[in-house]
Amino acid sequence: MSPPHFEFEREAFAAGAGWVAGVDEVGRGPLAGPVGVAAVILDPQDLPDGLDDSKALPEARRDALRPVIFAKAISVSVAFASAEEIDRFNIRGATLRAMARAVGALHVRPDLALIDGRDVPDGLVCPARPIVGGDALSLSIAAASIVAKTTRDALMRNLGRDYPGYGFGDHAGYPTAFHRSALVRLGPCPYHRRSFRLRKQEAEP
């Protein structure tokens, strides 16, 4: 597969946009922890090399790219939707709320947000274009995917130190066999998503 490109952004510039943000989320599937969203406005005159969908990059490469993105980008922001918010609004609703917050937190207001997926959140400060599989297509969304992934992973490692029995630093809250067995032994902690039917997950093979 070809690496992400900057053509969506260039199309927007040609149509009159000044700044274009890429937006991506991480953490929809875990049983614990927040969902994280990053928004990134890349500088078209200083694009980082080696950007790709965070899922296609090894951890060391993601970690190396993170400071490069922060150094070269026009603006970067990260927003979270907590487990409590996920339980209240469901994972889709909480993710869309976090997307709107991330775009709104950019210190430069974009003229367009390129959003990974099919949905556009309400309350955005600018127009948006959803792009299915956008983290593998758009450089801006790929940058956001790296920032979101590395930021959430660091947060989950911190939670793992506070709640060492669950192994959050190893699996970032996803439903691994170890995580399910820890839930059986310990029960949920305050950062588990109660609406995800944890007991049902524990019983799965």
pLDDT tens-digit series, residues 96-155: 999 999 999 999 999 999 999 999 999 999 999 999 999 999 999 999 999 999 999 999
Listed in sequence order, the DSSP H helices in 47-197 are: 59-72, 83-105, 139-162, 168-171, 177-186
pLDDT higher than threshold 90 for residue 166: yes
If one counts the domains in the chain, the total is 1
Average pLDDT rounded to a whole number, residues 22-46 = 98
Supply the range of the domain harboring residue 26.
7-203
pLDDT higher than threshold 50 for residue 87: yes
SS (H, E, C) 77-118: EEEEECHHHHHHHHHHHHHHHHHHHHHHHCCCCCCEEEEECC
- Whether 65 and 25 have beta carbons less than 8 Å apart is answered as no
pLDDT higher than threshold 50 for residue 200: no
1 in any annotated domain? no
pLDDT higher than threshold 80 for residue 60: yes
2 in any annotated domain? no
120 in any annotated domain? yes
Give residue 202's pLDDT.
39
Position 201 confidence tier, pLDDT thresholds 50, 70, 90: very low
pLDDT higher than threshold 70 for residue 186: yes
69 in any annotated domain? yes
In the chain, the amino acid numbered 168 is F
Q: Cα–Cα distance between 69 and 144 in angstroms, integer?
A: 9
Give the CATH number of the domain where residue 158 resides: 3.30.420.10
| pLDDT tens per residue across span 120-132 | 999 999 999 999 9
